[in-house]
Structures are given as structure tokens and as C-alpha cells.
Amino acid sequence: MHQRQKPSTPEHRSDPAADGGALSMSHNDSRSLLNLSQLVLSAGQIKPSPALKHSKITYFEVEILDVQSKKQICILDKVPPASTVLDVKHKFHKACPQWYPSRVGLQLERNGPFLKDSINIQSLAVSSIITLYFTDLGQQVGWTTFFLTEYAGPLLIYLLFYIRLSTIYDQVESRKNFRHPVVHLACFCHCLHYIRHLLETLFVHKFSEGHTPLKNMIKGCAFYWGFTSWIAYYINHPRYTPPSFGHRQVSYAALAFLMCEAGNHFINVALAHQTNSGNKTCFPSPTYNPFTWLFLLVSCPNYTYEAGSWISFTVMTQTLPVGIFAFLMVIQMSLWAQKKHKLYLKRFYPEVRRKAAMIPIIF
């Protein structure tokens, strides 16, 4: 009998060794993938390259419209979000060279206030397109030029009247009449006042980089120069009569004038020191200098001293033009003091709430 032999490798069955090897390789690959994942997780989040980090910067489009006609003047493309209103003005000047930055006034609304140069353009954005209204502010001058021109004129004009030019006064009458000492003292005080203003403009006051229209400088010069001519003409006239109470009136008034001039200077130095130090969290406090103690009573002592100077000068010279000029100066400075006092109340309410603006109890 023949024995049936079993097939050693049937075709329908797979090799166990081969199956085991496949399972072993699959298990090893899973373990390697798991180890690689744990390594990536332990290393932290993969940081993008610098090129990708800055590749998605949002730019703004600034549309400039004319404030009167609402017509579009230009569109400024690709304005970075960190740009300021001053940067927009420079870009606008490149697009429209006839309007330099200091002449450009930009408004968010037609009847709204002019935007300050330091405002960030991103704070104005509601969408990617920002609409601003343009106003031509006219020819502009810097604040330093404004004050130097305004104060240098009275200084020179008064000296021209003091030397009694032949084109102003009669030379025969000028030589005959004796000059009262108050005439020389008035010239000294008047020149001292404007020299102090000029020096403080150059070395004490810190003006912003803003500008003012040229027409404002013309108005200021017309006011100061015109009144100086009127005042100097009367005081230096050959027929000028001295004050009624003589030497005593002149001496006391001159002393008050010098004290007010000194107080004005020390107050301006204190205000400039506060601005330069950057400490704007509290109102300026009096120091060991007695001239700064006026801060205890008023919020704008510089205007108080300025008014005192012109009132003292009026008493010292006893002339009508000086009296009218002093009266107008007191009114103008009281308006400036009221405006500044309101700003102080918003910023320094606890320190300023019991103070007057310029004159204690009054105003």
C-alpha cells in the first residue's frame, strides 16, 4: 500500500515565518513613529521663519478729500499701521508737492478738529481704507520765528524813538528840553522786558515742532509794533511831563516792575523744567524760590506777573498809551489763563481745583 504524503508547502497557506517577520517590521515602524512624535512634541512648537513672520503686514489706503468740494485729491497706498499723521502729510507732500507738510491740515470729519501730527494712523482706522479731509492752512512759520519776530520789533522800535530821530521829532526842540530821569528808566525797563522774552524764547521755552499761519504772526506784529510806536512816541517826546507824584511814584513802580519781571522769568523756568523732566503727573509745586510761591494761589502765575509788569510800567510812566496797552493785555491774558486753567483742571484736578486762573479770587 502506498502511503499518502502530505504536501509540505501548500499553496493556499502563507509562510508563518514570513507573517511573523511582517508583523515585527510593522511593530518597529510604529514604535519609531511614536518616538519621532514624542521628540517633536518635546521640542516645542516649530517657529516660523522671519520671512514668513513679516510676510502678512496689513497696509492701509488713505484717501484724501477736499474739505470744501469733497472731491478726491489722491489716494496714498501701502501706508504702514505704525505711521503717524505727520508721515501721512509727508506722503501727501510727495504726491502733491505744492502743499508742504506744515501747510496741510487733516480732519477725520469735515467739521471736526485738525488731527495732531503724533496721532497713530491705525487708531483712526475702521477698515483698510481711511478717509481724511484736507484743508490748506496757508503759509506757515515756526513758533520760534513767530516769537522772535514779534519781540524783536518792539525792542528796536523803542530805541529808534529813544534816540529821537530827526524824522520823528524836531531837533531844535529836542536839544532844548531836558529829559526827565523817568524817560531813561522807562527805556531800560522796556528793553529789559523784551530782551527777557527773546532770551527765554531761545534758551528756556521748548516749542513743539508745529507751525502757525503767517497771518497770525502779521497780526501779532501789528499789535505789538504799533503799540510800541505809540508808547515810545509819547514817553520820548520832548514835551513829555513826568508822573504827578514824582520820584516816589517812579521808584515804587519801577521796583514792582522789576519784581514782576523776575517772577515771570522764574515761573517760566519752573514750567520748562517740568516739561523737560517729563514729570507731567502733578501740577508744578512752589520751590524755595519765593517768586514761585504764587503757584499756591493761581494756576497761571506767569500771566499774573506779565500783567503786573505792564500795570507797573503804566504807573511809572503815567501815559495814556501804556494804560490802554496794559488794559488790553490784562484782558487777553485773562482769556489765555482761563483756557489753560480748564486744561489743568482735566489733568491735575486735585491740585488745581481750589486755585484761581490768573488773579486770586478774581477770574
State which of 113, 138, 163 marks the end of a domain. 138
Looking at the domain assignment, is residue 54 inside a domain?
no
Q: Count the domains in the chain.
A: 3
Instruction: Identify whether residues 129 and 99 lie together within a single domain.
Output: yes
Instruction: Identify whether residues 212 and 299 lie together within a single domain.
Output: no
Give Cβ neighbours of residue 293 (< 8 Å, ≥ 6 apart). 286
State which of 104, 138, 172 marks the end of a domain. 138
Looking at the domain assignment, is residue 130 inside a domain?
yes
Which three three-digit cell numbers place residue 340? 489753560
Q: How many CA atoms lie within 13 A of 256 on its CB side?
A: 18
Q: At 103, is the secondary structure helix, strand, or coil?
A: helix
Looking at the domain assignment, is residue 345 inside a domain?
yes
Instruction: Identify whether residues 203 and 256 lie together within a single domain.
Output: no
Give Cβ neighbours of residue 72 (< 8 Å, ≥ 6 apart). 63, 64, 65, 66
Looking at the domain assignment, is residue 6 inside a domain?
no
Instruction: Identify whether residues 196 and 121 lie together within a single domain.
Output: no
Instruction: Identify whether residues 327 and 263 lie together within a single domain.
Output: yes
Looking at the domain assignment, is residue 20 inside a domain?
no
Rounded CA separation 315/358 (Å): 21
Instruction: Identify whether residues 168 and 249 lie together within a single domain.
Output: no
318: amino acid identity, one letter: Q
- CA dihedral of residues 244, 248, 253, 256 (deg, nearest 10): -160
Output the tens digit of pLDDT for each of the chain's 363 residues. Answer: 444 444 444 444 444 444 444 434 445 555 555 555 555 445 544 444 444 344 456 889 999 999 999 999 999 998 998 899 999 999 999 999 999 898 999 999 998 999 999 899 989 988 889 999 999 998 999 999 999 999 999 999 999 999 998 888 888 787 877 899 999 999 999 999 999 999 999 999 988 767 899 999 999 999 999 999 999 999 999 999 999 999 999 999 999 999 999 999 999 999 988 765 545 567 777 889 999 999 999 999 999 999 999 999 999 999 999 999 999 999 999 999 999 989 888 888 777 877 888 988 654
Q: How many CB atoms lie within 10 A of CB 263?
A: 23
56: amino acid identity, one letter: K
* Beta strand pairing call for 211-213 and 140-142: antiparallel
Angle between helices 214-235 and 181-203 (to 10 degrees): 160
How buried is residue 194: exposed, middle or buried, by Cβ count under 10 Å (0-12/13-18/19+)?
A: buried
Closest CA to 310 of 251, 257, 263, 362: 257
Is 312:254 a contact under the CB 8 Å cutoff?
yes
Looking at the domain assignment, is residue 350 inside a domain?
yes
Which three three-digit cell numbers place residue 272? 520748562
Rounded CA separation 20/39 (Å): 29
Instruction: Identify whether residues 247 and 237 lie together within a single domain.
Output: no
Task: Locate the DSSP E strands across 127-210.
Answer: 129-136, 140-142
Domain with 96, as residue range(s), is 60-138
State which of 119, 138, 157 marks the end of a domain. 138
